[in-house]
Amino acid sequence: METSSAHHLIERFNQWLTESVMIKLLSIGILILILMIPTTWIERIIKERQARAADVIREVSDKWSAGQTLSGPVLVIPFTKIEVLKRWDNNKQIEDIIESKHKAYFLPENFMVTGKVTPQKLRRGIFDVAVYESTIQLDAEFVTPDFSVWNIPDNQVHWQEAMLVNGISDLRGIDANPVIESGGNKFMAEPSSNTGIRINQFATSPVSKEDLAVASENISLTSGIIVPLNWKTREDFINRFSMNLSLKGSESLYFVPVGKSTQVNLSGPWPSPSFEGKLLPAERSVDDAGFTALWKVLSFNRPFAQKWIDTEQTLGGSEFGVRLLIPADQYQKSMRTAKYDGLIIILAFTALFLVEITSKIKIHPFQYILIGIALIVYYTLLLSLSEQLGYNMAYVIASIATTILVGIYASTFLRRKPVTFLFTGLMTFFYIFIFVIIQAEDYSLLIGSVGLFLIISLLMYFSRNIKWYKESREIQ
């Protein structure tokens, strides 16, 4: 009798474990937590592929030419500073004369740039890199340098050493010898890796908050071209210069507004430009044929003065320009999609659980696991396809394939076709819902909040007639 009673208790306990709603909910919750572990691996894979794409861009840029930043022209004139120091020696006043050589830097009064960018795509494996060739016309007008503010007489100014400096971030991009003209005269330019102009190393395109934090400490001397002017005296001063520059680069072309009044007119046959930097264009036009942009900048809009001595200031903090974007945001969108993986798993398991309760169908935990794994593999399928076909097409293919796979598998234990079609329709709706959120980036929070509210409302509606405690007592 005792053995039979114990066996009966064990059978009832096993039956309770098998059929208890609470145990089923607990097991589903544990499965969801376990399935959340591989999602971190998915995000890591996406980051690795994104880093690989960035490495390819750097490799191609190193062979072609990096993104360009033009900082100049700047008029540089050396001078000698004479200081008289008085001291007493044996009750006798002695004057020591100390001479030191310095450089004065003068920015143009008016600076105009007209540039034409001719982009192209270079392909490396499955990755595309935007590079360009450009023709740039620079016109600068200077006022006569005034050294009186530093109390430097004209006989201490080395006019014969005056030079025009134009900063170019990557000299490898120069396609032809720069032509500098003034008053019908042509000047020869010389390359230099140290023009004496200082600029923030990360000013044009910081890649992280860490870079921004150290930008003020990473001051570099800009490379570029130097033009000896061969003046003899102040009377030889020339106030107007023009320069024709053929320049290659990768992805970005930036300008520093060195003029007291700066105007930059840039155009090119590229349908997806990004106007970046500290200042946006005053006028711009973008269509399928290309873009045009016009910047107008005054000296009040930048954080540096018109003239300085030696290393008193840098030319960073007001760069602007264009970046040639390739519409290949599959990594960013795949990462955003992967962040909804937990939501998809929870919604799918909730739908299965409600079907199981309302239809009196028993679904084994192993079947939940297989469906969960299929929902995780979906993200690797999405990532791999997006690199080949683009995000939108990859999302459609991966979603259809996963929905069909899960639907066919669910039909083996859901038995009834209407129930199977209902579950498959719910999965389709979930993927459409996530796709709408990803596409409507600016309104993703609003759409997501409203959508989840409606989903919770529907779950409440369809589960309103379930007698949770009564069913539990009947099972027990």
What would the pLDDT profile of 11-27 be if each residue is shown by its tens digit?
554 554 455 556 666 77
Query: Is residue 37 scored above 80 in pLDDT?
Result: no
Where is the domain boundary, 307, 326, 345?
326
Where is the domain boundary, 326, 348, 373?
326
H or E segment and range at residue 243: strand 240-250
State the average pLDDT for the chain. 80
For 74, the token pair is 């700047």
**String of DSSP letters for 271-311:** SSEEEEESS--SEEEEETTEEEEEEEEEGGGSSS-SEEETT
Where is the domain boundary, 299, 326, 353?
326
How many whole angstroms separate alpha carbon 433 and alpha carbon 400? Answer: 14
Do 135 and 31 have their domain in common? no
- Does 109 fall in a domain? yes
b/e 105-123 (16+ beta carbons within 10 angstroms → b): bbbbebbbbebebebeebe
What would the pLDDT profile of 283-335 be if each residue is shown by its tens digit?
999 998 899 999 999 988 888 889 998 887 888 788 899 998 776 567 778 88
The larger pLDDT score, comparing residue 373 to residue 214, is at: 373
User: How confident is the model over 339-364, as a mean pLDDT?
Assistant: 79
Return the top range by mean pLDDT from 84-98, 223-237, 320-334, 413-427: 223-237
Cβ-based neighbours of 347, under 8 Å, separated by 6 or more? 426, 430, 455
Do 194 and 260 have their domain in common? yes
Domain count, the chain: 2
Do 184 and 197 have their domain in common? yes
Do 108 and 254 have their domain in common? yes
Query: Is residue 415 classed exposed, middle or buried when 0-12, 13-18 and 19+ CB atoms within 10 A define those classes?
Result: exposed
User: How confident is the model over 356-374, as a mean pLDDT?
Assistant: 80
- Does 140 fall in a domain? yes
b/e 197-210 (16+ beta carbons within 10 angstroms → b): bbbbbbbbbeeeee
- Does 55 fall in a domain? no
Query: Is residue 231 scored above 80 in pLDDT?
Result: yes
The model's pTM: 0.70
CB 451 within 8 A of CB 344: no
Place of tokens 């750097």: 58
- Does 3 fall in a domain? no
- Does 10 fall in a domain? no
Domain that holds residue 379: 16-50+331-475
- Does 83 fall in a domain? yes
Give me the pLDDT at residue 4, please: 57
- Does 5 fall in a domain? no
Do 212 and 341 have their domain in common? no
- Does 164 fall in a domain? yes
Do 84 and 160 have their domain in common? yes
CB 239 within 8 A of CB 143: yes
Amino acid in the structure at residue 80: T
